[in-house]
Structures are given as C-alpha cells and as structure tokens.
Structure 1
Amino acid sequence: MEGVSPRPAAVGRGQKVRVAVHAATLAELVEKGYAALTVEGVAQRAGVHKTTVYRRWKDRESLVVDALSDRSATDVPIPDTGSVESDLRELARSLVRMMTGPTGRALLAAMFSGAADVPGVAEARRQIFDDRFGRAEPVVVRAVERGELPPRTDPSTLLKALAAPVYFRLLVTGEPVDEHTADHAAEIAMAAARAGVLGAP
C-alpha cells in the first residue's frame, strides 16, 4: 500500500541476535549505567523480544559479562611477536585503546560508576577480569618458556602489574591515558618481572 512504511526487518536468529544484543547492551551501559540497565531495554534497542534475550542469558549480570568479555576479546587481541617486551607493549596499547573507547566507557559504567552496591556487580567484575587475564596468560607463559622471564613469574600477577597504571589513571587520578601510558606500564611490568618480584602472591 502506498504511504505505509514497511515494518523493520526482524533481527535473525543465531549469531545476528547475539551481535545485536551485545551492541545494545554496551550502548545501554554507556547511556544509562549498570544500575538502570534492564533486559527489556536491551531487547527493545536490539529489536528483539525480551524472551529471546532470556533464552540465551539467564539474567542481567550474565548478559553484561558476556557482552563485555566478548568485546574485550575483540578489542584486546593477544599478541605473539616473539618478544615479551613487544608483546606486553602491544597488549598495554590495546588495553588503552579499548578503555578510552566505547567498550571502556561501557565497562566503567558497568563496574565502577555508582553500581558497587548493586547485587551481582562484584561477581560480574571478577568474571570479566578473570576472562581477560586468562586470555592473555599465554603471553607470559611463552616468555617464561623462551627464557625471557624468571621461571617463577606468575602470569596473572604480571598482567595485573601491566594493567594497574592504566586503571589508576582512569579511576583514581583522572590523568590522561594514551600510548605513552601504555608503553610506560609495559616498562614497569617488565622491570618488576625481571627482578623476580612477580611470583604468585
């Protein structure tokens, strides 16, 4: 019929639904923050029914964890340059790019902006960071195997040392976070690792 706008096409099943819901989740986090995010709001933004969301994610927490973990894996690829120094530098630079972009804003909105007392936030935060460190651990394992780092170097402890200067600026001092921040963080982590102080706590 003339003058009647066609109905928007429904989002397809499978991967298309997952991509659409993840994008909607990140957008809702940035705009509204974690405390105000609802599955209904995400579904509406994604163009799907809320029951479609609940079939894949049991609750808001699991949806946020999945969306952020998936995007973090895309935004912070795990380098394998053959040298731990350049691997850590690239890892830190990717982290800075992510945290100063849309995914980082979503992460901060979800985990650190007035949502600390919301049930499930602490567990969601732990899951996201566990996932991120777990993906990056091979960088340290390979370096130990090549003899670039002391045998007792703990991957998780080193990666936390690498990320700490970035998050300190983002969350505490509000200082600029840029490529120089990333390179300096990598230098600090390397110096500590080579000094043998980054064993398991």
Structure 2
Amino acid sequence: MAQRAPETDDEQPVAAPGPRKRTGGRSARVREAVLTATLEQVAEHGIEGLTIGDVAARAGVAETTIYRRWGTRTALIAEAVTELAAVGNPAPDTGALRTDLLVLAEQISHLITRPGIARLVGTTIALSADPEVDAARRKFWNDRFERSSQVITKAVERGELPATVRPRDVLETLSAPLYFRLLVGDEPLDDAFIARCIDDTLTLHGTGAD
C-alpha cells in the first residue's frame, strides 16, 4: 500500500475561531442613551421630579440596567451633568490668557443657559443637606475646576499671572458672577457682562494685560 504523503501546512486542520471580543459599543450606546434621557427628564421635571423608571422608559433600557451601573438617581444625575459639561468643552489653549478666559466664560454661559440646567443647579444647592446630593455637587465642581486649571497654569508659565496664584481662585472669580447673575439676578449673560467678568478677573489676580 502506498504511503500517504505528509500533510502540508495548507492541509493542517484549521482551528475554530475563538469567541469574538466585545468592543463595548453597545455599552457606550446604552450609557449615552441613559445620560441623554436623564438630562431631558431634568429639563422637563427638575431633579425632584425625575425617576429612574421614566429615564429607563425614555432611554429604552431596563431599570435594572440603570441601578446596576449608577446605583442611585443622584449618581445618575451627577454623571449626566458632568458629561454634559465636559463634552464639546475642551480646555482652551489660544496662547493668551484673556482669550482663554473668554472661551471659558462662553462655555459656562452656554452650559448654564441650557433648558433645565439653572433649575438643576438651584435644586442641588437647596438640597445640599442631603449627603449624596452634596457629594454629587462637589464632584461636579471639582471635575470642572480640574479640567480648566491648565488654562491658569499655562498663563503662569507665560508670565501673564504671578506664580503664587491659585488656579481655582482665578476660575472662581471668573465664573461666580455668571452663576449669580443667572440664578439670583435673572439677567442675561450678554457679551458686555462677560467682558466685564474677564476684566475684573485679570485685574484682581495681577494683570490687566491683553
């Protein structure tokens, strides 16, 4: 009997493909849908009128999906607003402090004049006695200050601000009047007011230079 020729590489049995790795695409879509639904519910009903059930129905997911990922309504709202503030609002780097502050002020203005956001900010302040609400509020502000602090750090490196300045102090000086005017004064955040906030910030922290 003739011997069978040895198998070549082409004749070797092909191993069955392993399980395909999940890319997380569906998870990302679910997250986006839930956070979007959360902001829409807040805009329509405020934080006090938002329920996990309503968010789940609007996002097209099960309530258990939301509870499993976020745990509580407050944690969900905190992430939704933090994401809103971060997306599309990168820290500016125009090469000059004044124009960087202008971009930051415009970002803040656009954020807090969105439907429902002013109401949300006011409610979180009113509910600060609630530890979970207070923790969510602090996380939001800390994230915002951390993202924006590089603007001040670069201005110090360029000699536009003294080395002793605290980035948070500069950012608070710029942003506090914007929130006060909207939440307390109920007046528009127009270009003239934003320019005044920038001038006051530069003067207070050591430079009026362009």
Please, what TM-score do these two structures have when normalized by structure 1? 0.83
How much has 1:117 moved relative to structure 2?
5.0
CA distance in 2, matches of 1:115, 1:35: 10
Q: Note closer, same or farther for the CA distance 1:89–1:178 as it changes in structure 2 (3 Å cut).
A: same
How much has 1:190 moved relative to structure 2?
1.1
Correspondent of 1:90 among 98, 103, 110: 103
Give SS of 2:87's match. Answer: helix
Q: Does 1:68 align with 2:81?
A: yes
Please name the residue that 2:169 is paired with.
Answer: 157
Give SS of 2:165's match. Answer: coil
- What per-residue deviation string (whole Å, max 9, x for no partner) do you get for residues 54-110 of structure 1? 221121121111111111012533110010111001110111111112373464365
Question: What amino acid is the match of 1:93?
Answer: E
C-alpha contact (below 8 Å) 1:29/1:109 kept by paired residues: no
Number of paired residues?
183
Q: Note closer, same or farther for the CA distance 1:69–1:106 as it changes in structure 2 (3 Å cut).
A: farther
Question: What amino acid is the match of 1:83?
Answer: A
Please name the residue that 1:48 is paired with.
Answer: 61
C-alpha contact (below 8 Å) 1:38/1:60 kept by paired residues: yes
Q: Does 1:29 align with 2:56?
A: no
CA distance in 2, matches of 1:106, 1:42: 18
1:2-151 matches, within 5 Å, as 13-102=26-115, 104-105=117-118, 107-108=120-121, 110-112=123-125, 115-116=127-128, 118=130, 120-151=132-163
Q: Note closer, same or farther for the CA distance 1:103–1:78 as it changes in structure 2 (3 Å cut).
A: farther
CA distance in 1, matches of 2:194, 2:32: 29
- % of aligned pairs identical? 40
Please name the residue that 1:3 is paired with.
Answer: none
Q: Does 1:181 align with 2:201?
A: no
Please, what TM-score do these two structures have when normalized by structure 2? 0.80
- Mark the runs of 5 or more structure 2 residues left unpaired by the alignment: 1-24
